[in-house]
Structure 1
C-alpha cells in the first residue's frame, strides 16, 4: 500500500511548551519571545503581531527556541503535538505495518507561529523518523517534504476570497494526483483554525480523499469523519466548462446556461455582462478529470 497523510498544523507545540516553559533550556532565546512563552501568550499571538515575523525567522536548525522545541517533541510527541498525537493514534491502529510508500505532508497556518510548529514537526520526523515509527509499530520510514504554506490561511478573513485558490492548487491538486498514482490519501484535520479546516475537509471530500480523521478534544480519540456524497453536480461542471475562461452573458443565455443560478451559488462573477468562473473554481476545473 502507498499512503499519503496530509496534516493541518496549528500551534499546539508552543501552547504545550508554555505549560513547562520555566523548565526548558531557552538560553539564547530573545527576551521578548521567552517572556511571551513563559506567560502563555506566544501560541496565541494575533496574526499581525510583529513577533510573528521574528518567530518565523527562528525556524531553523541551531536556533535555541527551535532546538528546544524539537527536543520537547522528541521526549513525548503525543503530548507535545496535537498533530503527532492524532498520527500516533491513527497509525497505531492501522492494519498495515509496512508500506510501499509512506508520505507525510504538513500544512501550517500562514503565520510565524504556525510555520514554526510545522518546521519543528518536520525537523523531528526528519531526525527521528525511525524512532517515531517504532512508537506506532511501523517499519517504513516516512518521506516528509518541506511544509506547504497556503497563502493567507489563518491570517485574516480575506483568506476566503484568495486563499481558496491556493487551497485548491496546493491541497486539492495533491489529493487528486496522489490518488491517480495509487496512493490512499488521509487528511488529518485535527489542528489549525476551525473555519479553515472545515473548508479543508470539504475540499478533501470533493476531491476523493480516502479518509478524513480528527482527534476529538473531549474524548481524546481518533474520529473518522463520515464521507458524505459531496460533489459538484455534473450539470454545473458542464455549464462552467462552457464558460471556459470567460464568455459574454448573451452568448451563454443562447446556449441555455442558467447564469443567474451560477451567480447565486457563488461559482461565477458577472462584470459588465462578461461571465467568468471564480478563480478557485477555475483551478478546481483545471484539475478535475474530464469525462
Structure 2
C-alpha cells in the first residue's frame, strides 16, 4: 500500500492496516533488515545517536510514542520490535491524534501527561534524558524539547544534509513562577472559569496577555477558562519545582 505513512486519521485505508497489521509489520521488518536503518528515519536517528553518545543496549531504554491512528501504531510497533531484536529495552505509549484545532488542546495535554511526566520520573532515578526531535509532528516535538530543557535533558536532531547527529543547545528554561502561581491558584479552586465576579486576582492585562498567548480561551462573553494543555503544563512545572527544592 503506497503512501500508507501519510494517511489521514479518518482515511478508510486505515481499516485495511488494522486488519493486516501483523502481515504488514513482518514485511516492514524484512524491508528494514534488508535495506538497513536508512529505511526508517526514526531508526536511523536513534541508532546514530546511541553510537555517538556511547549508549549500550543494557543501559538504554528507548521510549516510543505514536498517535492512535493505525498507520502510526504500525510504524511504532515495527520500530519497537526492531529495537527489541537488538536487545534494547523499549516502551511504547499511544497519545491522542491531533486532527483539528479543536483537538489540539487534548492532544497536547495527553502528550504532556504521558510523555513529559515520564521524563521527570526517569530524571529522578538518575537517568540521562535524550529527546529525538528528528521525526514526528513539529508542534509536539517543540513541546517535548521544551519539557526536556526544563528538566536538564538533552535534545538531538539528525541533519540529513551531512548525515550526523547534533545535540541542540540546551538553554536553562524556567517557567515564570509568578504566572505558574497565578494559574495554580485557579486550578486549585472548584472552578477553572475566570469571570467578572471571580477574577482570581488577575488584572485586565493578565487576562489579555494570557489569552493572546494561548493560555486562556474565551468561554463566553467576559468569561475565560484555562486551556487543557496548560493544566498539564502547570502540573509538570510544579513537579519540577518540588524536585528541585
Q: Is the TM-score greater than 0.5?
A: yes
Name the SS for the 1:108 alignment partner.
strand
For 1:61-104, what per-residue CA distance to the aligned partner results, in whole angstroms no more than 9, with x for missing partners? xx2x22121122233442221111111211112245576x4211
1:188 aligns with 2:121: no
What is the rounded CA distance, in whole Å, between the counterparts of 1:55 and 1:254 in structure 2? 50
1:45-194 paired onto structure 2 within 5 Å: 45-60=7-22, 63=23, 65-95=24-54, 97=56, 101-126=59-84, 128-130=85-87, 142-145=88-91, 147-153=92-98, 155-194=99-138
Q: What is the Cα deviation at residue 247 of structure 1?
A: 5.6
Report the equivalent of 1:233: 176
Name stretches of at least 5 consecutive residues in structure 2 with no aligned partner.
Answer: none
Report the equivalent of 2:213: 265
1:216 aligns with 2:216: no
Name stretches of at least 5 consecutive residues in structure 1 with no aligned partner.
Answer: 1-35, 131-141
Question: In structure 2, do the counterparts of structure 1 residues 247 and 193 end up closer, same or farther at CA, with 3 Å as the change threshold?
Answer: closer
1:151·1:163 contact (CA, 8 Å) conserved in 2? yes
Question: In structure 2, do the counterparts of structure 1 residues 88 and 254 end up closer, same or farther at CA, with 3 Å as the change threshold?
Answer: closer
Relative contact order, higher structure (CA 8 A, sep 6+): 1
- Considering only aligned residues, what root-mean-square deviation do their CA atoms show, in Å? 2.6
2:152·2:172 contact (CA, 8 Å) conserved in 1? no
Report the equivalent of 1:9: none
Instruction: State the TM-score, normalized to the length of structure 2.
Output: 0.82
1:269·1:275 contact (CA, 8 Å) conserved in 2? yes
1:186·1:209 contact (CA, 8 Å) conserved in 2? no
1:31-46 paired onto structure 2 within 5 Å: 36-37=1-2, 41-46=3-8
1:187·1:209 contact (CA, 8 Å) conserved in 2? no
Report the equivalent of 1:6: none
Name the SS for the 1:168 alignment partner.
helix
Matched length: 234
Question: In structure 2, do the counterparts of structure 1 residues 253 and 162 end up closer, same or farther at CA, with 3 Å as the change threshold?
Answer: closer
1:275-286 paired onto structure 2 within 5 Å: 275-286=224-235
Question: In structure 2, do the counterparts of structure 1 residues 156 and 262 end up closer, same or farther at CA, with 3 Å as the change threshold?
Answer: closer
Instruction: State the TM-score, normalized to the length of structure 1.
Output: 0.70
